[in-house]
Amino acid sequence: MYRVGQEEIAELTKVVQSGDLFKINGGVQESAQVERKLREILNAEHAIFMTSGQAALTCALVAMGIGPGDQVIVPAYTYISTAMAVVAAGAVPVIAEVDDTLTLSPADFERKITAHTKAVVPVHIQGFPCNMDAITAIADRHGILVLEDACQADGGSYRGRRLGTIGKAGAFSFNFFKIVSCGEGGALVTDDATLFQRALIYHDSSAVAFFGDQMAGFSEAGFCGDEYRSNELCAAMLNVQLDRLDGILDDLRRNKRYMMNALDGIATPIPSHDSDGDCGTTLALRFESEDAARRFATAEGVRGVLPIDTGRHIYTHWTPIMEMRGALHPLMDPFKMEANRDILPAYRADMCPETLDLLSRTVYIAVDPNADAKALDEKIAILKAALA
């Protein structure tokens, strides 16, 4: 969380004093306001505020009709939740390489397509925009649905369009580590009315039929779902955070550009599919070798992180996926389902060597949107000394 203050406290107080903590109410209606703001900010037809980014991914896949017998392509570098959402829908994740931007490689995405591929999940990791033109073109040629994982890219954009609104649906996260936060939360956005109806039903155990008029005008019938409904306290927090979003992004991008300009010709930043749309949370520098990257990252005052060390963000650390343990009960485990028997990938630790190489030679430097010119200059001096 980058910024929080008295405004959030005031909004939370308003909800507590109203006594209306449930999502559907006749009082403050914070959840409804969150969904309205998301639609406006993202220029999307539909938005559902829910408990997490993984919940949003799962609801989207279910609403797309993804299930047993289907494969879904995910990048080798993303939090394990992306792959777990595929398993939660009963499908099988197929893992593809990232390109030199550390986002899904369009070339490897296309190589991994089979007759069973029904969807692809490009992930805008660290707020880095994926090559959405190439990915959507490939997906359209093969009749594959695109679900954007924008959980680390709240408010980012690609060629003038907000990330998460380019594919069939988009998923967002608002947990403590994201650009804006309500502690824990997520959202699904889409322009597709049928997908929205199905996702709304699934995210609330079909209970949407019993609270308010949420299903007014629906063409989709209720069915058994899960429980990802959020509440007015989280929504109150997020309402204020969403008002801060574009200001935070402006400051992140400004400070990242300042640092990159100062290091021009001295360091090698990773390329970007849209440097203006990049969220600006992370200055990523590429080195010739892992040893060189580690020397820089551990130099005095640098406080760098190699993404190869980020654990469950790398497919080699997705233990339940790599070991094909998809559910406690074997009959509920997609890796053991008869429908998936002939479509299981051969997961191996070395199956995405390009991804592992790129992650091991990259160093992340966190960008502080609240840093002034003096603090930035001090940091830049440290980075230059470490690069010398």
Positive or negative, the CA dihedral 128, 134, 137, 138 is negative
CA distance 283 to 268: 10
Buried b (16+ CB within 10 A) or exposed e, 138-163: bbeeeebbbbbbbbbbbbbbbeeebb
Is 14 catalytic? The answer is no
Q: Across-strand partners of 264?
A: 267
Q: Across-strand partners of 74?
A: 95
**Contact criterion met (CB below 8 Å) for 201 and 225:** yes
Residue linked to tokens 């959020």 = 230
Q: Across-strand partners of 146?
A: 120
How far from chain centre, in Å, is Cα 325?
23
Residue of 178, 256, 336, 379 marked active site: 178
- Which residues have C-beta within 8 Å of that of residue 96, sequence separation ≥ 6? 73, 74, 75, 76, 104, 105, 108, 109, 111, 112, 352
According to DSSP H, which parts of the chain are helical? 6-18, 30-42, 53-63, 80-88, 106-111, 132-142, 193-203, 232-262, 290-297, 319-322, 353-360, 373-387
**CA of 240: how far to CAs of 58, 245, 371, in Å?**
26, 9, 21
**Contact criterion met (CB below 8 Å) for 194 and 46:** no
User: Catalytic residue numbers?
Assistant: 178
